[in-house]
Structure 1
Amino acid sequence: MGGAADLLPCLSMILVQVGYAGMSIISKLALDSGMNPYVMVAYRQIFATIVIIPFVYLLEWKTMPRITKRILFQIFLSSILGATLNQCLYLVGLQYSTPTIACALNNLLPAVTFVMALPFRMETVGIKRRSGQAKVVGTILCVGGAMLMSFYKGNLIKIGESSINWRYAENMTQRNSSNAENTFLGPLLVVGSCIAWSGWFIIQTKMSKGFAAPYSSSALMCFMASIQCTIIGAFAEPNIKEWFLTSNIRLVAAVYSGAVGSALAFCLMSWCIQKRGPLYVSMFSPLMLVIVAVASWALLDEKVYEGTAVGSGLIVVGLYAVLWGKEKEMEQITRADEMSSEEVMENEDKCDMELPVYSKCTLHNAS
């Protein structure tokens, strides 16, 4: 039983990364079919809200804390940063880049979060310690890798052609050539989505202290974001016919991104964070890059260039450097807390041992 219980979080996180990889590829196909990215984001929030509501009713309805005006405002900010801005920037960036580049740049998240958390004193550098040096070096590597992917394309890496190229995907890409890859704009927008997502992490950290109901807050966040994204989508795509999910790929992309990319992924990640902690969950992020790179080459005939390969490698190395530094920092904090607890207990034991002696002395002097 113990072995199966230890294996379950690992399998859950692998499933999450496979789900995210599938979402990147399917979303790219839907965008290549001509679907407006803002319309896709709106549908994603709508379907995510519908899927999360049953979890709220089953798991948190009776224990949910009271929603104050402060909590409601924090959820509103979370919806703007974590859902609307993050996903709009990501999908538009994906529209002008490739699934591999978008997934690689998503690994910037821990480094960007570390930098943004410094002014709020949620993180410390500790440059004199190895953990602090690892976080700084890792952040530099991540930023360097992102800049390399944005400004340098390089030569084509010849890795052969796939024998299982998806004819449907090839026809879809050829039919809509307007979504041509933009070496600078696409990666820049994906980096912007990481910055927005990092802002969401900071708000969530503050909000979770006063509202420990992740499913309820996520349902409210997705509901607010669905309204925001629908309004933005109405301005970006006023033609009502473009909102119809008559195309199979558009319907699949909308339902899949909401149900799997938002609702299911959040539930599994929340469970894994409770079991193993956030660092364990973060360590699986590069797995999505590998899955997407292989699938994009095999199914979409995506070309891999030197800038993408080297930049992705730098980002993955930087990611693990930041995570290693954070893990060592947490171990140091835990050891310091344990030592403090032991000192308190020793002082209490000393007082207990000295109390009878003091009492005897008092009685002797009194007699």
Structure 2
Amino acid sequence: MAGGFLPFLTMVILQLGYAGMNIVSKLAMDSGMNPFVHVAYRQLFATLSIAPFAYFLERETRPRLTFSIIFHIFMCSVFGATVNQITYFVGLKNSTPTIACALSNLSPAVTFILAVPLGLESAGLRAKAGQAKVLGTVVCVGGAILLSFYHGPVVGVGQSRIHWKFADNLRNKTVSNHVNFVLGPFMLIVSSVSWAVWLIIQARVGKMYAAPYSSSALTCFMASIQCAIIGFCFDHHLSAWSLYPAIRAVSSIYAGIVCTALAFCLMSWCIERKGPLYVSVFSPLLLVIVAILSWAILQEKLYIGMVIGSTLIVMGLYCVLWGKNEEMKPTKTPDQEVDSGKQFTMEDLELQLFKKSNTSAGTNGEN
């Protein structure tokens, strides 16, 4: 079960958790919560949640901190938490949860664009894998541009019969003030770029400091301080830091514990068993879930431009992931190639499976 259905169920639950964060966070900011304050609280609760894991699970294996490691973790906190989340939540406040989730799928394409000039990725235009990555990147960017600047007519999907009074009241009071279809998508694209930069830096941190819980706790702690300073600079009134009404407290705690601390543990578990590509392919599921919840709970309207743009982004995402997956496949040696005209017995087949299982076990042991 752990090898098949359980990782699948875990990733579906994780996407549901992220979908809930987008809806609840949108309601919290519509209630008047400053997105800078929201991000600061999220990092604080995330730090408090991850710190016990870092202390108890890595106290005997944690490497010694050096200035170089601290600097790289600091840069991770800047790009992966502070800039990434501030721009994301400012973009979410000025757009819709569906647009936010659609544009967050740009991250693999943006990472590829940044990694090529740094020598971390190769375009490889002569191979199908390289062509797929380039084509997927172009399609992703095109979908993002279309989603950002073209809306078109409303898709006739009817009106939801679900009426959450709290959400209805906030929507009637604030939706006209908190939707900006230029600033919102722009900030969300900046968030994707920042996340791509974090992925590149984090890859180096993982090699330098093999203590993921400790590095995550330090990242969240540094980001808490950074976000608090930025928040006070933009709004120095103490009333802005109030967690009343309750939706603000629920949103901050939920985002910090469920979508940072718990999500990190679940994704790490799935990556260990299925690999990073398996985790990545579930990203479009979040878009579908959020679109349904936004329509049902927030009465969000779907436009033709949003549907077409989101579809292009998802298609481009899978194209990039397919290309990356093809590149990661080991090259077959001559003795592994199968002659189409050769007949195999059951003993030959069992021998081939035995060799493959031993090869896989040896690879897992080295990692």
TM-score (norm 2): 0.89
- Give the Cα separation in 1 of the matches to 2:33 and 2:334: 58
Question: Which residue in 1 is equivalent to 2:163?
Answer: 165
Match of 2:203 among 193, 202, 205: 205
Match of 2:104? 106
- 1:296 aligned partner: 294
Number of aligned residue pairs: give it. 337
Residue 33 of structure 1 contacts residue 173 of structure 1 at CA under 8 Å; is this kept in 2? no
Residue in 2 that maps onto 1:349: none
> Residue deviations 1:299-341, cap 9 Å, x none?
110000011000000000000000000000101xx226x6799
Instruction: Give distance in 2, aligned partners of 1:226 and 1:213.
Output: 20
Aligned partners of 1:93, 1:280: CA distance in 2, in Å? 28
Aligned to 2:296, the other structure's residue is in SS state helix
- Structure-to-structure mapping, 1:236-247, within 5 angstroms: 236-247=234-245
Residue by residue, what CA displacement relative to the aligned partner does 1:100-153 show, whole Å, maximum 9, x if unpaired?
000000000111111111122111110011101110110001000000011101
Residue in structure 2 matched with residue 79 of structure 1 by the alignment: 77
The alpha-carbon deviation at position 175 of structure 1 amounts to 2.2
Greater mean alpha carbon deviation, residues 98-107 or residues 204-213: 204-213
Task: Please say which of residues 211-220 and 54-63 is displaced more in the overlay.
Answer: 54-63
Whole-angstrom CA distance in 1 between matches of 2:139 and 2:70:
37
Deviations 1:260-287 (A, max 9, x none): 1111111111111111111000000001
**Distance change in 2, residues 1:4/1:268 (3 Å):** closer
Supply the AA of the counterpart residue of 1:274.
E
Deviation of 1:180 (Å): 3.1
Q: Which residue of 2 aligns with 1:258?
A: 256
Q: Is the 8 A contact 1:32 1:179 kept in 2?
A: no
1:335 equivalenced with 2:335 (yes/no):
no
CA distance in 2 between counterparts of 1:76 and 1:160 reads 48
Contact 2:3 2:273 in 1 (8 A): no
Q: What secondary structure is seen at the aligned counterpart in 1 of 2:291?
A: helix
Distance in structure 2 (CA, Å) of the matches to 1:196 and 1:5: 33
C-alpha distance in 2, partners of 1:67/1:162?
Answer: 53
Are 1:134 and 2:132 counterparts?
A: yes
Quick check: which has more Rg, 1 or 2?
A: 1
Match of 2:228 among 227, 230, 234: 230
**Among 10, 13, 26, the residue aligned to 2:11:** 13
Q: TM-score, normalised by structure 1?
A: 0.89
Q: CA deviation at 1:9?
A: 1.2
What is the letter of the counterpart of residue 39 of structure 1? V
Residue 58 (structure 1) shift: 2.6
Structure 2 partner of 1:346? none
Contact 1:154–1:305 (CA under 8 A) maintained in structure 2: yes
Q: Secondary structure at the match of 1:209?
A: helix
Q: Higher mean Cα deviation, 16-25 or 6-15?
A: 6-15
> Structure 1, unaligned stretches of length 5 or more?
342-367
8 Å CA contact 2:96–2:179 kept in 1: the answer is yes
